[in-house]
Amino acid sequence: MRERAARVVADREQRFEAMMDSLKSDDNMRVKAAGIIRQAEHDQMKKKFDLYQTWDNQVMRRVDAHLMEFMTDDPPEHEEGWRKELRKSDCPLKQAVRDFHGEDQFHREASSLLQDTAMDEIAEVGLAEHVRRRDHHASLVKNRDHSRPTLPVEMWAQQHHYASRFGYFAQGSERAEHGELGFRSARRQGVDAHLPDERDGVPLAGKSKHRHERNLLGALTGTTAKYGESYRHKASHGPGSAAPLQDHYTYEKGTAIVDHEFPIGKRCYPHMKNF
């Protein structure tokens, strides 16, 4: 037993020495790997810093100069030859987008020249007309919008904002949707604006019903068509939010609630069944 215990200790010491030797032999490799990782991180940080510096000099500096003209009476002076106008090509963050649009435009123009339909069109309308149509199509593609329209910063002032179509008109439309007076529109807006006229005494056809209610107008009632069915059941403590009235703790249960939810089924007569 003593000899076996001694052999176990010797084997353990031998394994420990082997592990230490393997760590020492791989130390040079780990140092090289750590150096490569540190260099990659440094290059990545330098790339981000250079990109920010380029954006700050090309874009932010011109934006600041443009805003200072509206905010102060004595804007700062700039060095001679500095361009104050901000162009689309100044932003370094959009370089990949600009390259893609350039390649797409080249591919479109090359395809229009190489296709057989171009030769047919030249033979039909002539070379000059074909060139004019191609230039017109290229100008339309070049000048089309690539983002949503936004209100310029210099139009954010109250007097300019209200004078635009995003100001008083939009606020008046919103008030009209909530039933407030003082605004006219060619569209039907407000609460119960789409209810049919039954003053002649003739009931409207196509109404819905369930076990406990009749003559329901559905989406024509109130603002249900705009906000949805869930809006009618909105409560302060949470239930009735979004689809379909998701709430796992305070919603009502029972046969009456189910009868309200589902329409009346077809009436069956058990004694008239054919067995």
Rounded average pLDDT over 56-74: 85
Cα distances (Å, whole numbers) of residue 136 to 113, 130, 132, 246: 15, 10, 6, 53
| Number of structural domains found in the chain | 4
Asked if 15 and 66 sit in the same domain, the reply is: yes
Asked if 103 and 137 sit in the same domain, the reply is: yes
Lowest mean pLDDT among 26-30, 100-104, 125-129: 26-30
For residue range 254-263, list pLDDT tens digits in order.
887 777 777 6
For the entire predicted model, the pTM comes to 0.38
Indicate whether 135 belongs to any domain: yes
Asked if 95 and 135 sit in the same domain, the reply is: yes
The per-residue b/e assignment along 46-65, b for 16 or more CB within 10 angstroms, e otherwise, is eeeeeeeeeeeebbebbeeb
Indicate whether 172 belongs to any domain: yes
CA distance 68 to 84: 12
CA dihedral 11, 12, 17, 20 (to 10 degrees): 140
- Single residue among 71, 105, 131 that ends a domain in this structure: 71
181 has a pLDDT exceeding 70 = no
- Nearest Cα neighbor of 191 from 244, 138, 158, 231 is 231
Lowest mean pLDDT among 63-72, 90-99, 195-204, 227-236: 227-236
Indicate whether 158 belongs to any domain: yes
DSSP 57: I
Lowest mean pLDDT among 85-94, 163-172, 240-249: 240-249
At 40, the pLDDT band (50, 70, 90 cuts) reads very high
Give the percent of the chain with pLDDT over 90: 8
At 116, the pLDDT band (50, 70, 90 cuts) reads low
Indicate whether 167 belongs to any domain: yes
Lowest mean pLDDT among 37-46, 58-67, 183-192, 206-215: 183-192
Asked if 67 and 6 sit in the same domain, the reply is: yes
Lowest mean pLDDT among 16-20, 116-120, 128-132: 116-120
Question: What per-residue confidence (pLDDT) applies to 236?
Answer: 67
Rounded average pLDDT over 96-115: 80
Rounded average pLDDT over 72-95: 83
For residue range 230-263, list pLDDT tens digits in order.
777 666 665 555 555 656 666 677 887 777 777 6
Asked if 120 and 93 sit in the same domain, the reply is: yes
Question: What per-residue confidence (pLDDT) applies to 106?
Answer: 83
Asked if 10 and 66 sit in the same domain, the reply is: yes
Q: Are 49 and 43 in contact (CB under 8 A)?
A: no
Provide the residue range defining the domain that includes 161: 153-188
Indicate whether 274 belongs to any domain: no
Q: Are 97 and 70 in contact (CB under 8 A)?
A: no
Question: What per-residue confidence (pLDDT) applies to 231?
Answer: 72
